Amino acid sequence: MKKITFFLLLTSAFVSAQKSTLEQKINSITKGKQATVGVSVLGFENNFKYSQNGDKRLAMMSVFKFHIACAALDLVDQGKLSLDQKIFIKKSDLYENTWSPYRVKHPEGNREATLNEIIDYTVALSDNNLCDLLIGLTGGTQAIQKFMNSKGIKDFQIKYSEHGMALNGWDSLYENYTTTSSTVNLLKKFYDGKLLSKKSTDYLMQIMLGTKTGANKIVEQLPKGTPAAHKTGSSGRKDDTLTIAENDMGIITLPSGKHYAIAIYVSNSKESETENCKIISDISKVVWDNFNK
């Protein structure tokens, strides 16, 4: 009994020292930066937890496309939608002044795409036009909010689509919010199969592993080939002086085969876009190093 107690005390002391070291390193990265930086980390197998500004409600931007995809795949699990079903995409669905790789490839629209393609473009390529189509297929932002509420996801709000944010101006970006703590807890529920069926969970994990955006964020300084199922978000710059959100979150697989969730949101930043992404990249690296001691 004494040996077990001693072991538990030793483990507790080690974890405490780990957190302290991690916090010092993260503080050295964020020190002097004109930005609010939210960071949360959750070890899946060892339940290691770290959070800084983890309960601050920050603008999500395209991170919400993960939540949207989950709500759509729940309808697939229910048999109300099918990944093979075809949706007609009109030219009028493809707004010009927004991020849309699909529109670049198919500028005239007026063609069919499968739900599978729409989800892939929405998540892996962060396409704003197809994201809004997916919101419509899911039943609107209220349906997505209801799905997340039903799964016990706290500190999450979605009010506007991508086009809705564009129409309603910069202040509306803050109406789609979450916290980094909520995000890592959501990712753990997702990984554990508490959001979707195993088939849909595996499917969305594969899409996130193929994310094409944010190569200079969470994944930049990880060893080449590290499995990182992630989703990025970025607001661009307001009046060329303020970045409302530069975000990345995801599930990282360690060489040991174990996993951790990480969410890093840089909010209301007066730093350059390059510096905002470097903050995310540098924090991701020290978290990786912390897990690989």
Q: Say how far apart CA 176 and CA 189 lie, in whole Å.
A: 21
**Exposed / middle / buried, residue 119 (Cβ in 10 Å: 0-12, 13-18, 19+):** buried
Question: How is residue 22 written in tokens?
Answer: 């991690």
Question: How is residue 177 written in tokens?
Answer: 């919010």
What are the backbone dihedrals phi and psi of residue 46, each rounded to the nearest 5 degrees, phi first?
-105, 0
What are the catalytic residues?
62, 162
CA 100 to chain centre: 18
Question: How is residue 214 written in tokens?
Answer: 């944010």
Strand stretches in 207-290, DSSP E? 228-234, 237-238, 242-253, 259-269
CA distances from 70 to 29, 31, 204 (A): 33, 36, 8
Helix (H, G, I), strand (E, B) or coil at 228: strand
Helix (H, G, I), strand (E, B) or coil at 171: helix
